[in-house]
Structure 1
Amino acid sequence: MIRFRPAGLLVATVLTVATLAAGCSAPAGEPGPTSLPGPVQSSARPSPSPSPSLSGGGTPSPSASQPAPSATPSAPPTQEPPPGEPDLSLVAGWSLEQKVGQVVMVGLPVKGPFQPTFDMLRDQKIGGVFLHGRTQAGRGPVKNLVDAAVAAADSPVPLFVATDQEGGEVQVLRGKGFSDMPSALDQATLSAPDLRARSEVWGQELAAAGVNLNLAPVLDLVPQQSATSNAPIGVFGRNYGYAEQSVITHGNAFAEGQRDSGVQTSIKHFPGLGRVTGNTDTTAGVTDTVTGPDDPSVSVFDAGIKDGTGLVMMSSAIYARIDPDAPAVFSPTVVGLVREHGFDGVIITDDLSAAVQVQDVPAGQRAVRAVDAGVDLVLASAKPSVAPAMVDALVRAARKDPAFAAKVDAAAARVVAAKSGL
């Protein structure tokens, strides 16, 4: 049964931020604000939902009831779906727009503007947000922002509220209520029980701020001899050591601690970014010429899948020994390899909104190609303004092609199933 989390009043606080942006592939420079701090009202038409007010306090806003959904899923099935197959009854009776909305996650910049994302949550019925950027504001203002997003949404099920809280260089949320987390490389010096206990505390901090999904841990296997030239991972110490067993033991300990706190995890970036030099966020043509389908780089993800992660994030690099013709996120062969490892949860993309690796593909087609390859959730975090084009392209493709529509149904059902414990 899907349980609804009470939504807060639409009250958001200005978030104080540093200059680094959150990126799923690697830290990168973020442009300055394009508007005054705080939400921006839409100039096209009034918003039916109240806009957040600006306040300097760190106290979370009072709770309020979540708006009634515009559609209600049909009754549970009388027959269980085959093992590994999504339960399509979870989205039976939903409109195509509602199903497509569950397949897209949009960025919510922690320093604003907020209103464009709130509008997309309502108008495109998007089912997830990613807190993007850097903030030192602490738990209270973050919780206010999350409550505002939840209240703005038009979704039959709870929102995924995600962020990148890996530690070290990649920690979106800081300030009062959030620990300063060491990098994964430093976390790997801890015992597994100690790391799991610490990760549970870090997860509790996220949960208290309304975050229910951490796009972590990084399970990329980085050779020590080339770490300093591995731009997305090794340069920033995002790897749990350099040996396969270290990555498995400590990556899984981190993930278990997060899930112990009620925060779901996404291991990343399948099938591994440890052997590339370029960062897919900032570089085109990033290619791994070494990793094959039976490589140890893939085995670490198999261990993370068996450990119980709810999501697996795809890399945007090209893997010449698996499919040389397409970035992994667009490749049915590479995406299919995740399923071959017995994973029946949600497969999510790395950011497809601003990553230079995929900029030669129009934004809407990036979403279509990813879902057509077997991906369930499309992330548009760094440049959320492209999300409506992605939604429109997915709707058009599903209306035109029944086979593609079936893929949308399956993807939406997996996302909704993953939200069942929220």
Structure 2
Amino acid sequence: MSSRPARRALLLGMPALAALTSCSPGGGSGAPSDAADGPAGSDGGGAGDATSAPGSASPTTAPPSAAEQALAEMSVREQAAQLVLVGVRAGESFPEESVSGLGLGGFFLLGRWSEVPAVVETVASARAAVGEAPAPLLAVDQEGGRIRMLRGDTARETPSAEELGEEGPEAVTAAYRSIGEDLSALGLHVDLAPVADVVDPELGEDNAPVGALERGFGTEPQQVAACVRAAVEGLGEVGIAATLKHFPGLGRVRENTDFSAEGVTDGTTTAEDPFLEPFAEGIAAGAEIVMTSSAHYAQIDPGVPAMFSPAVVRDLLRGRMGFTGLVITDDIGSAKAVADVPVAERAARVLEAGGDAVLTADPTIAGELVDAVEEWAGTSEEAAAHLAEAAGRVLRLKERFGLLA
């Protein structure tokens, strides 16, 4: 029942900033503070307790949702499989040998897809590969500019985030609505966008993962926050789930975590940093997914990649910022930043940190990841409970898309 500014103020732990009406740089910042401890929202929506009013009928127990029913019928291994999403590369055969029979949670498109029949065939193969398991979530990285997996006949061309940030929120909303329409037409559910990272103005193009590729909306937190909200709302207007990335931000590192394990430490960002404002604004706008990065954040949890850090995921994202949706990783299959960590350990550490699902661009490790999650769930009651909670989040998102029928 609260207004958007009030919700945003809760997320940021400070008064709402009134200037978020354009993407033009403005004064002020919005860093999360201790005032925002605890979830900022709940599944209950503030409905109050179940006590009956005088003279009313006795309360009845609501029937389980489709997601709850599906979860209750799953084995531990089936739950584990829901937490693994595998990349399918354009121009290559669907990785049936690596994924068939696992009942994976989803797939995402990699490379450049320019022909509609190829996408349609892959969507059909993905659905067939999971067998009797719930239909898979289907995602793609469609940001605009250079970062567009869908090209040619499969999607309309849209400007880069940098260009959109200069134009303003209305342009951002229109572009992301267009992106969402194209994804929906192809049977896809999730856009692995928008980028919520604020590029350090002192780095600019020397920021390899974002600035050099024009993936960021700008260099000022308030500006980027307004554009992130606009992107989330544009996708939401056509029913596509938005993904805020790369939490807690890649705008202050020099190298790309996909290609390097060096130069991927952010020594500046703190848990109260203004650069977190775009993530808070995206959450307030209704983003359903947050992607964690594999960079290191020396002021939050030194020496630990964000996706493996309880301080980043449980304390900051879940606790301080109140995010209750699905937390996924950046690629853990091929990324150089985590290449030295054994595959099974990657999955276990993600879950121990409080994450929900893992993405791998390497389909050949899918089975190993499912094995690792299943084994981890058997280490304690707490681990088993977290697995069920994480699988439940995946299934609730699937329920929204009608994938549990």
Where in structure 1 do 4 or more consecutive aligned residues deviate above 4 Å?
Answer: 87-90
In structure 2, what is the Cα distance between the partners aligned to 1:158 and 1:93? 15
Q: Which whole-Å deviations, capped at 9, do the CAs of 1:243-285 have from their partners, x for residues lacking one?
A: 1122111122122111211211110001100000111111114
Q: Return 5+ residue gaps in structure 2 as ranges.
A: 1-59
Question: Structure 2 length normalisation: TM-score?
Answer: 0.79
- Indicate the SS of the match to 1:210: coil
* Matching residue of 1:353: 333
Identity of aligned residues (%): 39
Name the amino acid aligned to 2:148.
Q
* Matching residue of 1:107: 87
In structure 2, what is the Cα distance between the partners aligned to 1:191 and 1:354? 35
Pairing partner for 2:141 from 157, 164, 172: 164
* Matching residue of 1:210: 187
In structure 1, what is the Cα distance between the partners aligned to 2:384 and 2:309? 18
* Matching residue of 1:333: 311
CA contact (8 A) 1:121 1:154 kept: no
CA contact (8 A) 1:147 1:210 kept: no
Pairing partner for 1:191 from 168, 176, 196: 168
* Matching residue of 1:414: 393
Pairing partner for 2:271 from 278, 282, 293: 293
In structure 2, what is the Cα distance between the partners aligned to 1:136 and 1:163? 13
In structure 2, what is the Cα distance between the partners aligned to 1:169 and 1:194? 17
1:342 to partner: Cα distance: 1.2
Pairing partner for 1:78 from 28, 36, 61: 61
In structure 2, what is the Cα distance between the partners aligned to 1:347 and 1:367? 13
- Indicate the SS of the match to 1:348: strand
In structure 2, what is the Cα distance between the partners aligned to 1:295 and 1:350? 22
Pairing partner for 2:293 from 315, 318, 324: 315
Q: Counting helix residues as a fraction of each chain, which structure ranks higher? A: 2
Matching of residues 62-77 of structure 1 within 5 Å: none
Matching of residues 248-263 of structure 1 within 5 Å: 248-263=225-240
CA contact (8 A) 1:140 1:209 kept: no
In structure 2, what is the Cα distance between the partners aligned to 1:350 and 1:141? 25
* Matching residue of 2:10: none
Name the amino acid aligned to 1:297.
F
CA contact (8 A) 1:185 1:237 kept: yes
Q: Which whole-Å deviations, capped at 9, do the CAs of 1:327-382 have from their partners, x for residues lacking one?
A: 1100111011111211100000000001111111111110111011111110012x
1:119 to partner: Cα distance: 4.0
Pairing partner for 1:306 from 276, 284, 298: 284
* Matching residue of 1:284: 261
**What is the root-mean-square deviation in Å for CA atoms of aligned residues?**
1.9
Name the amino acid aligned to 2:104.
I
1:89 to partner: Cα distance: 5.7
Matching of residues 112-191 of structure 1 within 5 Å: 112-114=92-94, 116=95, 118-137=96-115, 139-154=116-131, 156-191=133-168
Instruction: Confirm whether residue 390 of structure 1 aligns to residue 373 of structure 2.
Output: no
Q: Return 5+ residue gaps in structure 1 as ranges.
A: 1-76, 82-86
Question: Structure 1 length normalisation: TM-score?
Answer: 0.76
Name the amino acid aligned to 1:408.
L
- Indicate the SS of the match to 1:266: strand
1:93 to partner: Cα distance: 2.6
